Structure 1
Amino acid sequence: MIVVDIQIKDVSLFQTVTQKFLKKNVYIKKDKIYHISNVEEETIIANTIIDGQGLFMVPGLIDSHMHIESSMCTPENFSDAVLPFGVTTVIADAHEIGNVFGNEGLDYFMSAETELDIFHAIPSSVPSTTPSLETTGGIIGLGEVETLLRNPNVICLGEAMNFKGISYDRESLIAQIIRLVQEKRPTMPLEGHCPKIQGTELSDFLYSGISSDHTHQFPESLKERIENGVFVQLQAKSLTKENIAVIKENNFYEYVSIVTDDIMADELLDGHLDVNLRKAVECGLPIEKAIYMTTYTPARRMSLNDRGIIAPGKLADFILLDDLETFNIKTVYKKGRKVYGTDIGKQDKQDKQDKQDKKEYDYAYYPSHYFDTLSTRKLTLDDVTLKVETDLEKVRCQVIRKFEVGTFTEPITKEIPVIDGCLDWETADCSLLIVMERYGKNRNISYSLVEKPIDSKGAIGTTWAHDHHNIMIMGNTKQDLLKVQHELLDIKGGYCVSLNNDIIGSCPLPLGGIISTAPISILGLKVKEIRQSMRQLGYKNMNEIMSFSTLSLPVSPAIKVTDMGMLDTKTQEFYSLIHEEDGTLLNANTY
């Protein structure tokens, strides 16, 4: 007789090979699937028998591209948050903590003890461009990459974003990193970030060896990428009826996975990868294909050959659903142990909550200086008054126009009045956007204008500014700009919103200026407060927080801002705020 830990009787099992559900008996021994049969095996005795009638058994969900820091929480709290949503494995690209602390910060993130399996990508773009274009707290160069390559928990090269350096500069840092990875770990997947690139430019990018993309997809780009051998990872904004139709019509299921990329803490209150799975189904993807693209294709992409499929010898990571159509989760098992379920006892739930709440106050794990990272002074009225040298009553300015969908922007020209030698941006339907270097390295400060991003008098400020995470403030009144900048310093980093010179939303992120130690149940409500406050100001986007935070991302089309100025993200050339023939901005570029 063979003794196993669990038998699940007569369950509708998702068979990955056929992508169909069949009635089966599944036997689990320790942390692995032991045996699957059509009938009960008389020679196998189970310590626990689960009646699978009416239940559907699918593999645990695998997110092959995501960033824990986007949820603004620690890996431990992230693990507690996502396991109930059926997510059992993630591949995290911790380039945000890397941009703040370098490899030291990565070591803390990678050594976190979690029930969730967290594998890691090498942050390939710290900084996302070069130190001549943006200032970061940490830099990950060849030496740091070589160290990370020796870590068995590191399984891919994280999203390579510097298009110009990858495609046309063989001696750029990112090009050297790619060659080092190919030499030391030749089978390691190389992940890419290539929005709005097509034709020969796409080939130039792929020639480096990069073979995936997770950026905003459209039907034409999706088809072109897959036909050129790109493994596409679809995040929420790419899950459209049009994109799903391309996948179905061309039978592209093998070359696509569904990912989250960036999920905010308030969104984590309601779901994670399971939400995107359901969205894909709503857009026309058959549920069986959606399960396949959130379990097996990501596992295969990342060479995680011990999961993503329910079969003998594979990890017993699985979900029991009581409704397939709605993907309603009844129970989640991780390595053969129940980690979430409607039948978990009240005491088990209370113990888990007590453990989670305690983490909010567990600062000892991180060095004390991780909670004091804003090496800046408080701005004054003089700092937000833009002095101009010109004889003109109006000057032409380069202005940023943001879109209400996605994170794209475009450059436009506007005439701004000059009064008493100062740029009168407050009356010009513009907001002033300021980025301050906050690591104490050079005290850079840059000024730019954004075309009417908010309707009410107010300002938004954050240190969670992709990817350099310097201080970024934007507002349409001088007083509100000062209000949010002072608030950020007082809370040691985070997000805040001011309306009529009054703080209406504040979310402290004191760990490196980008992370909270609070559990998602608390942090999520604070982030929701920020989102609602931004909407109250009239900020419009499908994801207000990500839209604002990526105004500082110098690899996202088409014009973004760093502590060094406004940047054409394709040519990597800086714009002047004022057209040179019209005048000169006199404000210093350091504070």
Structure 2
Amino acid sequence: MNVQRYRKIARVTLGRSPADLVLKNGRILNVFSGEILPASIAIKDGLIAGTGEDFFGKEERDLEGRFVVPGFIDAHLHLESTMVSPNELVSTAARFGTTCFIVDPHEAANVSGADGINYILNQTSHSPANVYVMLPSCVPATKLDDNGAEFSAEEMRQYVHHPRVLGLGEVMDNPSVISGDKAMFAKLCLFEKMMIDGHAPFLPERELSAYALAGIRSDHEATSFDYAREEIRRGIHVHIREGSAAHNLRAIVEGILESGCNTENFSFCTDDKHIEDILREGHISYNIRLAISLGLDPVKAYQMASINTARLYGLRQLGAIAPGYQADLVVLDSLEEVSVSSVYFKGELLRSDAELRIRSCPVSLRHSVHLDPVSPKSFLLPIRLEETPVITLNPGEITTTEESAALEKCRNFQPELYPGYLKIASVERHKNSGKIGCAVAKGYGLRGGAVASSVSHDSHNILVIGDSDEAMAMAVNELIRVQGGYTLVYNGAVYDTLPLPIMGLMSDEGYEEVDRHLQHMKNKAHEMGVPEGVDPFITLSFLSLPVIPELRITPRGLCQVGENGPKLLKL
């Protein structure tokens, strides 16, 4: 803060001039002392000038004893995974109290490289919240990936001093870190004085220590408290994830409560949360509410949603209600229920009826499916082994389990002959290389058709799962036609399609249109046998990610993910 601004705001702090706004009669959560104090809040130029009882302002509002807490921070998320335009998602989640988003745009980067990152930065430059970016570290995610672009350390250099870039995004190529790969360390060294996020599911203890030694300071992939505690012990801050696909909060919070573990090194994140889930249950507000309902001290829950994350990322003006902090505030009717009465960003009230602005997208990002039409023969899957590896879904998780099945040897696997089993394929769509990998899957349950998606982490090729080659081909060709999206084929015809023309990941038609298609297809997919605990599209989209155990499908074939990284399996 320069001296001129300081002098202006200090006059309010000292009671010598009026604040722009005074919020009177609140009960303020002090995240530093852990106290809840009755006080008013004086705001000047978007900052908190002070808290107390003796302020006067040009405008004064009576909070009538409501609680006031710092604006919530989502410690890690991918805006692209919400399927709506970035500003629409940010604006919607902000109404539920999330006033800061730490975004990793690696979905966009895997499709369109730097152009995709610039799209995310530009789209959120005037959003009603703080939106920061962690530069994607692994584009592509592994050496087995077939994605649309590469993002090297040299290309990252132009962003190092960008005011909204905080550091390096989730480092998921663990073998390259642990082996001291030169290209990986070029990126790590470029950001050694900034924040470096991790992505380290299930590393053994020595490898986890080597991972931390490389300077990685956070991770959002812990699914159990025991693993989270091992990370904390090594100085790795744990982001507790609760989104649309992965639900890790209960296990970790219950472990915190049972062990009495210090919560200063925990934060909340959503990672991937669809807008319909936000509207139904909230955003980071839901994480807080669930944690409190499990027995976590409300003060600790709110600290995990604010100051813990702000300190980790060096956001010195965010995360607290104190002099000099940005006036990002959430007014609550109930501390335990996290019932949001109003939200302030930089001291301005966010109006729930404000029109959501959907900004235009460059034409170059709207044509990203470069693929010739496929035929049923594209999905031939010979069975040659006595025991065939099977991708088995784990409901409520993005992990899978490796199982095996004694399928009859044949020239082409026919799912209709095996109840409970389906064929899954990944079709390379960026360079029209002709690569198509096929495998057997279990736990998805679909009968009578196929589901396809151009959202398939992290390379975002076209994923399709179904019980016949004809239905699978029809689904893939439909996504070629609309240049990406979700589609469902039923009884020999396309039942419905949600076009996602922005990089094959997002729509700019608005939430209502997205939700109309999505709910229509979800309901039908469940009628066709997809279990209620499996999201037909989100779950499918993660079955291609070759950094999450145990089996994945890629355009190169079935991939086994272990502690030494991914390797292709022969069928």
Could you say which residue in structure 1 is the equivalent of 2:485?
494
Matches within 5 A, 1:90-109: 90-109=101-120
Whether contact under 8 Å (1:241, 1:283) holds in the other structure is no
- What pairs with 1:464-503 in structure 2 (closer than 5 Å)? 464-503=455-494
Alpha-carbon distance between aligned partners in 1 of 2:377 and 2:535, rounded to the nearest angstrom: 33
8 Å CA contact retained: 1:268, 1:520: no
1:31 maps to 2:46: yes
The code of the aligned residue for 1:264 comes to H
- Residue equivalent to 2:18: 3
2:417 to 416, 421, 427: 427
Is it true that 1:333 corresponds to 2:333 in the alignment?
no
Residue 13 of structure 1 pairs with residue 37 of structure 2: no
Matches within 5 A, 1:195-234: 195-234=201-240
Q: Residue 3 of structure 2 aligns with which residue?
A: none
Within 2, Cα distance between the matches of 1:533 and 1:117?
Answer: 38
Contact 1:416 1:425 in 2 (8 A): no
Alpha-carbon distance in structure 2 between the residues aligned to 1:518 and 1:370: 15
1:341-386 CA distance string (max 9 Å, x none)? 6xxxxxxx3xx33x54xx3xx5xx4322321211112211222334
8 A contact 1:222–1:232 mirrored in 2: yes
2: CA distance, partners of 1:289 / 1:301: 16
Task: Give the secondary structure class of the aligned counterpart of 1:2.
Answer: coil
Partners of 1:54 and 1:28 in 2: CA distance:
18
Q: Is the CA contact (8 Å cut-off) linking 1:399 and 1:449 kept in structure 2?
A: yes
Q: Quick check: 1:368 aligned with 2:368?
A: no
In structure 1, the partner of 2:449 is 458
Counterpart of 2:318 in structure 1: which amino acid?
A: R
Letter in 2 for 1:96: E
Residue matched to 1:308? 319
Counterpart among 98, 121, 124 of residue 134 in structure 2? 121
RMSD of Structure 2 on Structure 1 (CA): 2.0
Residues 505-530 of structure 1: CA distance to partner in whole angstroms, max 9, x if unpaired? 42111111001112234323433334
2:509 aligns with one of 508, 518, 543:
518
Q: Is the 8 A contact 2:276 2:515 kept in 1?
A: yes
2:261 and 2:418 map into 1 onto residues whose CA distance is 51
Contact 1:56–1:323 (CA under 8 A) maintained in structure 2:
yes
1:528 aligns with 2:526: no
Q: Cα distance, 1:144 vs. partner?
A: 1.3
**2:265 counterpart (251, 255, 258):** 255
Q: Quickly say closer, same or farther: Cα 1:35–1:424, change in 2 above 3 A.
A: closer
State the SS of the aligned residue for 1:474: strand
1:169-208 equivalences in 2 (<5 Å):
169-171=180-182, 173-182=183-192, 186=193, 188-208=194-214
Shift of residue 414 of structure 1?
A: 2.1
Deviates more, 1:299-308 or 1:523-532: 523-532
Preserved contact between residue 247 and residue 253 of structure 1 (Cα < 8 Å): no
Give aligned-pair identity as a percent.
Answer: 25
1:186-231 CA-to-partner distances (Å, cap 9, x unmatched) read 1x12111111123212112212111211014212112222122110
> Could you tell me which amino acid in structure 2 is paired with residue 468 of structure 1?
S
Q: Secondary structure at the match of 2:288?
A: helix
**Alignment check: 8 A CA contact 1:15 1:310 kept:** yes
1:587 match: none
Matches within 5 A, 1:125-140: 125-130=138-143, 133-140=144-151
Q: Any conservation in 2 of the 1:11–1:55 contact (CA below 8 Å)?
A: yes
Give the conservation status (yes or no) of the 8 Å contact 1:27–1:36.
yes
Q: What is the CA–CA distance in structure 2 between the aligned matches of 1:75 and 1:408, rounded to whole Å?
A: 27
Note the 1:545-584 alignment, pairs <5 A: 545-570=537-562, 571-572=564-565, 574-578=567-571
Match of 1:379 among 367, 374, 380: 374
**How far apart, CA to CA, are the structure 1 residues paired with 2:414 and 2:27?**
67
TM-fit CA distance, 1:544 = 4.2
* Cα separation, partners in 2 of 1:230 and 1:250, compared to 1, 3 Å: farther
Normalized against structure 1, the TM-score is what?
A: 0.88
Q: CA deviation at 1:495?
A: 0.9
Who is 1:239 aligned against?
249
Letter in 2 for 1:552: S
How far apart are 1:258 and its partner, in Å? 1.1
In 1: Cα distance, 2:277 partner to 2:437 partner: 32
Once the two structures are superposed, what CA deviation does each residue of 1:54-93 show, in whole Å capped at 9, x if it has no partner? Answer: 2111111111111111111222212221111111111100
Q: 1:7 to 1:576 in 2, by over 3 A?
A: closer
SS at match of 1:10: strand
* Structure 2 counterpart of 1:581: none
**1:445 equivalent in structure 2:** 436
> Residue 248 of structure 1 contacts residue 285 of structure 1 at CA under 8 Å; is this kept in 2?
no
Aligned partners of 1:268 and 1:524 also within 8 Å: no
Range with bigger deviation, 121-130 or 475-484: 475-484
Task: Give distance in 2, aligned partners of 1:521 and 1:322.
Answer: 28
Secondary structure (helix, strand or coil) at the match of 1:221 reads: helix
Task: Provide the C-alpha distance between the structure 2 equivalents of 1:488 and 1:385, rounded to a whole number of angstroms.
Answer: 20
Q: Which amino acid in 1 is paired with 2:38?
A: K
Cα distance in 1, alignment partners of residues 503 and 231 from structure 2: 36
Q: Is the 8 A contact 1:433 1:474 kept in 2?
A: yes
Distance 2:212 2:447 in 1: 45
Residues 1:453 and 1:20: Cα distance change in structure 2 (over 3 Å):
same
Which of these residues, 280, 288, 291, is aligned with residue 302 of structure 2? 291
* Structure 1 residue 470: Cα displacement: 0.5
Q: Distance in 2 between matches of 1:105 and 1:241?
A: 35
Q: Distance in 1 between matches of 2:483 and 2:344?
A: 38
Structure 2 distance, partners of 1:324, 1:425, is 51
Aligned to 2:316, what secondary structure does the other structure show? coil
CA–CA separation in structure 2 for the residues paired with 1:255 and 1:427 = 51
> What is the deviation of 1:40?
2.4
Aligned residue number for residue 4 of structure 2 = none
The corresponding residue for 2:5 is none
Structure 1 residues 524 and 287: CA distance shift in structure 2, 3 A: farther
Q: Could you report, residue by residue, the CA deviation over 1:87-131 in whole angstroms, capped at 9, with x for unpaired residues?
A: 11111000000000001111121122312211000100111112x
* Change in 2 beyond 3 A, CA 1:59/1:569: same
**After the TM superposition, which of the residue ranges 438-447 and 259-268 deviates more from structure 2?**
438-447
The 5 A counterparts of 1:135-146 are 135-146=146-157
Question: Aligned residue for 1:586?
Answer: none
Contact 1:498–1:504 under 8 Å retained in 2: yes
Count of equivalent residues: 546
Shift of 1:395: 5.0
C-alpha distance in 2 between matches for 1:536 and 1:252: 45
The TM-score normalised by the length of structure 2 is 0.91
Which ranges of structure 2 fall in alignment gaps of 5 or more residues? 1-15
1:412 aligns with 2:406: no
